[in-house]
Structure 1
Amino acid sequence: MAHIDYFFATISPFTYLAGTELEEIARRHGATITYKPMDIMGLFARTGGTPPKDRHPNRQEYRLQDMERRAKRVGKPLNLKPAHWPTNPAPSSYAIVAAQAAGGGDLAALVSSLTRACWAEEKDVAEDGVIRDCLSAAGFDPALADSGLLSGAETYGANLEEAVERGVFGAPFYVTDTDQRFWGQDRLADLDLYLSGKL
């Protein structure tokens, strides 16, 4: 059975635009997924990336154009300059870690809900109330927002270290159990072909 380690950031627009396509691909191929939320700004600092605000204006302009096109392509609403971005991704990431450990809900829906809150609903995913609402909507106990904070923090830190060690440098990033790496939601079709044995 194939396995995919899914490295992502709850404040990443491209994680939002990926939606639940990864989960659909995994279902088709009987693959399992481990969700690994990480500190994207920390990852940039460790792997030669540049935070969006520090990029050359040409890159900033292209990023916004590309985001808008991608949103139209997948039919998702998108605010190119959300009110609460960047924000602290740690609290929402801890909640995902806790939800994955607890089980019983839909992790794909939780990630989708949190990223949509940031990029389409003008909500701050660092706020406890927003996180609780997203947990509840995805079928998890909203109290997970306040539980396991220490283990959440440890896992969040470990995910960053693992990402660096395994060649990850952006989000979303998909790594198979055969160490095939796919960066960006626009590479999901390639992941699908790879799992089909066509790449």
Structure 2
Amino acid sequence: MNDKTIDYYFWLNSDWAYLGADRLQGIADKYDVAINYKPVDLPDVYARTGGMLLHQRSPERQAYRVAELKRWCRKLGIHINPHPRYLCPNADLASCMVIAASQSGADITALYKAILRAEWCEDQDISSDITLIDIANKQRLDGQALVNQARTPQILSLYRQYTDEAVGCGIFGSPSYVFQDELFWGQDRLDMLEEAIQRAG
């Protein structure tokens, strides 16, 4: 693996990925580290690693998630709605569209952040073709072409590959970062990821 690369595994429904997105990019820019963006099918990851989807968790765990989100939003100065209108819809198409954009050579940083923002800040349904096309078009990408490409066997195969890779790396949640074979889970571990990059020189 390239010593100057972060493998970034994330779910396109991940509120925590949204909270960490700008800081991750800032770390990569500061140390001239490349990011490999790898959207994953988190429900499949959960099924294979013992995780539970939000609606399956106990009321106590769900309440604590909201409390933690509010704390982190205050700390970071970022607003999200813990209970958006469309909470965690199917993210397969959104994930594959981001992969398709990456394969076409586009800078997908703004695209994936816009998709996350659409769900957590703008009450949009990111499982909708219409929503995703509009988001991509606003990023000056060809939304319809990306949605079409997202449904091709090549892109679907990459999506499955990234999901399998994630499980193989020991990943069980989103966002997760792998640097020099070391796994960091959660945006609250970005400081430790940065320290690992510093140590690597």
Q: What is the TM-score of this pair, normalised by structure 2? A: 0.92
Unmatched runs of 5 consecutive residues or more in structure 1 = none
Deviations 1:77-100 (A, max 9, x none): 211111111201001001000000
Q: CA RMSD in A?
A: 1.6
**Structure-2 separation of matches of 1:22 and 1:134:** 22
Query: Following the alignment from structure 2 to structure 1, what is the Cα–Cα distance between the partners of residues 196 and 46?
Result: 27
Map of 2:64 onto structure 1: 62
**d(CA) in 1 for partners of 2:108 and 2:150?**
17
* Deviation (angstroms), 1:126: 0.8
Q: In 1, are the aligned partners of 2:177 and 2:184 still within 8 Å (CA)?
A: yes
Matched, 1:172 2:175: yes
Deviations 1:144-189 (A, max 9, x none): 122242222111111111111111110000001x201111111111
Report SS of the residue matched to 2:122. coil
* Percent of aligned pairs sharing the same letter: 34
- Corresponding residue of 1:32: 34
Structure 2 spans left out of the alignment, 5+ residues? none
Contact 1:20 1:108 in 2 (8 A): no
Alignment of 1:16-55 (within 5 A): 16-55=18-57
130-139 vs 40-49, which deviates more?
130-139
Aligned-residue offset at 1:20: 2.0
> Which of residues 155, 162, 177 in structure 2 aligns to 1:159?
162
Which one of the candidate residues 77, 81, 100 is aligned to 2:102? 100
Residues 1:132 and 2:116 aligned together: no
Q: What is the TM-score with the length of structure 1 in the denominator?
A: 0.93
Distance 2:187 2:138 in 1: 24
- Contact 2:93/2:150 (<8 A) preserved: no
Report the number of matched residues.
Answer: 197
